[in-house]
Amino acid sequence: MQCIVNRRAQFSASHRYWLPEISEAENIEKFGACSKFPGHGHNYVLFISMAGELDEYGMVLNLSDVKHVIKQEVTSQLDFSYLNDVWSEFQQTLPTTENIARVVWQRLAPHLPLVRVQLFEHPELWADYMGNGMESYLTTSTHFSAAHRLASTELSDEKNFEIYGKCARPHGHGHNYHLEVTVKGEIEPRTGMIVDLGALNQVIEDYVVEPFDHTFLNKDIPFFAQVVPTAENIALHISNLLRSPIQELGVQLYKVKLIESPNNSCEIYCTQSEESSVNNTAGEPVLAQV
């Protein structure tokens, strides 16, 4: 039986986004504060996922051996380093989160049966790389606070309470929603980026956070006048709001994850989601097709 195992590692390093072939003004315009000399640092957290068959000892791999490989090939070289200089790959393509994950894959692939490299630059930004050329996934997270009531205008109060329980109470209730947006694209060979992160965050702010934050979703967001704002329907609506403006940035919206509470969350894979598919006024969640 095949199984996937994961190993966590970490390192602290600094880097700078700077292209010597363009002017200082162009670097500042392209990279903002990340272009400042001599650079800035992060406490990186790395997750290495590996696949294989269980052996007679109930293991895919000896994790002590895995730990040694990761340390030898990656963390001992990157820890307390200036990434732009430590590996030649980062002199050709800047050490962005997504490109570091790609190069880590290249360094470990001869030694381990990799299926994914996930690198957290900080808790609200991370990249996933699965060994597919220059293709990478970048996730950024944010939050908003909003209230909602789970009740369909087409149903009686009795029926709404039967379906939604306490969530159908007439004055609603609130959540501190945590939103994760994942985009998919090709790493640019010089900048190391799949997307302008500042532009991506601004799209999320403009289309979701600003209009949704501190609202009563049923009353303040026109879409939810007839669609019950379950976490699933909120995530699907967000995916449709973001898909086109994110595509205009040159990447594809891949996934929207909405965490309603520590106990409840949902994920929408956005490649084929359509706003028109949400026609369920009774509130049955409709998920995007994959």
Q: What is the pLDDT of residue 272?
A: 53
For domain 1-131, the CATH class is alpha beta
Which segments within the chain are labelled E, that is strand?
2-15, 40-53, 81-82, 114-122, 125-129, 135-148, 173-186, 215-216, 252-261, 264-269
134-290 homologous superfamily: 6-pyruvoyl tetrahydropterin synthase/QueD (3.30.479.10)
CB atoms < 10 A from the CB of 15, how many? 24
pLDDT at residue 262 is higher than 90: yes
Q: Which of 242, 247, 275 is nearest to 257 (CA)?
A: 242
Structural domain spans, the chain: 1-131, 134-290
If you write DSSP's letter for every residue of 58-94 in order, what string do you get?
Answer: S-SS-HHHHHHHHIIIIIHHHTTEEHHHHSTHHHHS-
Using pLDDT thresholds of 50, 70 and 90, give the confidence band for residue 276: very low
Residues known to be catalytic: 167, 214, 260
Q: What is the pTM assigned to this prediction?
A: 0.91
For the stretch 14-26, pLDDT in tens is 999 999 999 999 9
Query: Are 1-131 and 134-290 the same fold in CATH?
Result: yes
